Amino acid sequence: MKRIHQLQERLGEARLEALVVSRLINIRYLSGFTGTAGLLVLTPDRATFYTDGRYTDRARAELQEGIELVVDTHAWKRALSDLPTGRVGFESEHITVHQLDWIREHTADRVEWVPTRGWVEDLRIRKDPEEWATMREAQRLLEQVLGEVLGLLEPGKTTEWDLAVELEYRLKRAGAEGVSFDPIIASGAQSAIPHATSRRVPIPPNTVLLVDVGARYRGYCSDMTRTFWVGPEPPDPTFKRVYQTVREAQEAALKSLSPGLLARIPDEKAREVLRREQLEEYYTHGLGHGVGLEIHEAPRLSVFAEDHETLEPGMVVTVEPGVYLSGQFGVRIEDMVVLTETGVDNLTTFPRELQVL
Ligand code: ZN
Ligand code: ZN
């Protein structure tokens, strides 16, 4: 209930009688409910979850203690009629124009609807030790299964799609809920596309293989990228040079991470290294992003981050510089780390040195 209490305090500061939380992932974070229909209403001294009969048993099993459950075929209408009179907040980034019209219609003059932004997301940004442990396990499962899957590779025969499918299947068998996003298994020139899709084409011998994958475990995501050389011939010298530079860039960024730091600094550190090798122009995205219940969430680690965006203990972020030479190959190396009170705890243990498969 700590998370709910923090929001209840904020209600007072914002002079709101209640907050309606309708975004499902935020409901899960606050209440534990993992179903796909319902809404959570917070007043300064109560938390009530509304859902319909399909979810009665699930809600009873999952809802945290202290949250009241109301089951009604017309859950939204019921929740609206229970609302106190006065100013009520809603999640303005997660409600459609139509829904807003509808809730206004059903509350008439009784409720003044006040848009709120990021109230729950602001809490989600800092993970607690239990969340770190869950994400560490999501990463551990991923590394274990990726190791197995890479062992299946037969150059010239195995397709990108084969590896993507095997990864998903084996993750589920190993105890994960599945992948946290469609795996990116990209060989040859396809690796130069930062968000490539895995194709049903064989991975040829003597080429680059970029693998960006994640597992979902108890709702939480992991995220990692490694770039390999597929043998039997030794790695191409240009590729080797780019790989070493990206690795150095990642190292520089990782070393700079510390609580209190401006969120744009680590990206600047990575860029300095790439610039020295005339590779900065081929680095076409920011350094990293927050991870949690969603694969991409706040904060962003980018030179475009503003002065008020700083790193704080408890944040889980990726560090993933990349260089993409169109028509040739791409290199990206991505780790996922927790910011602690004193520095960082890297959740990724998979080797970063260039590996030949
Ligand atoms: Zn990734
Ligand atoms: Zn990522």
- What are 296-338's pLDDT values in tens digits? 999 999 999 999 999 999 999 999 999 999 999 999 999 999 9
Six-digit token pair at 266? 């680590």
**Ligand 2 centre from 169 Cα, in Å?**
21
Give the integer Cα–Cα distance in Å for 269 and 272: 5
Task: Work out the pLDDT band at 64, boundaries 50, 70, 90.
Answer: very high
Mean pLDDT of 10-39: 97
Question: Nearest Cα to 286, choosing from 308, 307, 271, 275?
Answer: 271
Arithmetic mean of pLDDT, 145-173 = 98
What is the C-alpha separation between 43 and 79, in angstroms, rounded?
A: 12
Query: What's residue 154's pLDDT?
Result: 98
Q: What is the pLDDT of residues 200-254, one digit of tens each?
A: 999 999 999 999 999 999 999 999 999 999 999 999 999 999 999 999 999 999 9
In the prediction, which pLDDT does 120 show? 98
Mean per-residue pLDDT of the chain = 97
**Confidence band of 1 (pLDDT split at 50, 70, 90):** confident
Q: Is 302 helix (H, G, I), strand (E, B) or coil?
A: coil
What is the CA 170 to chain-centroid distance, rounded? 21
Q: What angle do CA 134, 340, 285 make, to 5 degrees?
A: 80
List the chain domain ranges.
2-124, 129-346
How remote is the CA of residue 283 from the centroid of ligand 2, in Å? 14
pLDDT in tens, 249-296: 999 999 999 999 999 999 999 999 999 999 999 999 999 999 999 999
Domain 2-124 and domain 129-346 have a common topology:
no
Q: 46 pLDDT band (50/70/90 cuts)?
A: very high
Which ligand ends up closest to the CA of 225? Answer: 1
CATH topology of domain 129-346: Creatine Amidinohydrolase (3.90.230)
| Contacts by residues 248-256 (CB-CB < 8 Å, ≥ 24 positions apart) | 248/273, 249/273, 249/274, 249/283, 249/321, 250/319, 250/320, 250/321, 250/333, 250/335, 250/352, 253/287, 253/301, 253/319, 253/321, 254/319, 254/335, 254/337, 254/344, 254/346
Measure 227 CA to ligand 2 centroid, in angstroms: 14
- Determine which helix (DSSP H) or strand (DSSP E) holds 15, and give its type and residue range: none
Ligand 2 centroid – CA 10 distance (Å):
31
pTM of the model: 0.95
| Model pLDDT, residue 98 | 97
Ligand with minimal distance to 214 CA:
1
Residues 84-111 pLDDT 10s: 999 999 999 999 999 999 999 999 889 9
Q: Provide the residue count of the chain.
A: 357
- Which of the ligands is closest to the CA of residue 227? 1
Structurally, at CATH architecture level, domain 2-124 sits in: 3-Layer(aba) Sandwich (3.40)
Helix axes of 265-276 and 237-256: crossing angle, nearest 10 degrees: 150
